[in-house]
Amino acid sequence: MSLRSCLSRFKEEKLPFSHQSYSTLKLGAREIVLSEIMHTIDNDTERRIRRREYIVDKAKYATVLYDKTGKSITTSIIRDLFHNIGFNTDTVFGEPHNADVTCTANIGGYIFPFWRSFIYLINKSSPTRILLTQRLGPGRKRLHVRLFNSDDGSWIVITHVDHSNWFNFLDPIQSVKSHFVKATGDYELGNKMLESIITQTLRNFDNQKHLHLDINQIYLDNVKQI
């Protein structure tokens, strides 16, 4: 978990939409099938994705985030964007596997009983609650996002679920399996969650609202559908 990254953006995320670094973006998104672009590797981004996500982890789908006006989305803006959605950006514990940006969110409950209830009891601030639950809380599982910057200024996003977090001492075997055994991430569930996250984020963009999402609720909603 990247405490420094979280805290450095903590004050800025409370600002209204118009004051955010991404406020002038005309954000668009489209899903791509990786098998359709992996046979004709013609740029560094596709080569990096193929090396691990496609060949080893068997990821099938990805989402491309882009600006509808053709402007490049900078690394700083993409980090601010995912931070304000509720992710911990640039995590310390998590292999980047050639990605330009990595981020995670805690899902599936917490190692310590009543952690969420305790945090909500002692603090009424929405940003603080998100910080201590989704970003830095002792989650049982986590949603892991890798973002690859393309030559045209867009970003290719690939997501999977780790069925045990690094510090999940309640299930050490699954923890080792999730983080040290290749091709164990749940990319199907991760992609379904990403679809929901992007759909809600685009809606918030249209309404110029805060981007905060309850990522754990999105996890629960998508688990029911599988």
Write the DSSP assignment of 130-157 as a string of letters: HIIIIISS-EEEEEEEEEEE-TTS-EEE
Task: Give every CB contact of residue 124 below 8 A, 6+ residues apart in sequence.
Answer: none
* pLDDT (tens digit per residue) in 147-200: 999 999 999 999 999 887 766 555 655 555 555 555 568 999 999 999 999 999
Q: Region 31-52: what's the mean pLDDT? A: 82
Q: Enter the tokens of residue 173.
A: 């075997």
- Of 152, 151, 180, 150, nearest to 164 (Cα)? 180
Q: Enter the tokens of residue 184.
A: 């164990």
Report the predicted TM-score, pTM, of the whole model to 2 decimal places.
Answer: 0.86
pLDDT at 169: 56
Give CA–CA dist 150/66, Å, rounded.
Answer: 10
Max Cα-Cα span within the chain: 54
Residue 57 above 50 pLDDT? yes
Cα-Cα-Cα-Cα dihedral of 51, 57, 62, 65, to 10°?
A: -60
> How does residue 3 score in pLDDT terms, banded at 50, 70 and 90?
low
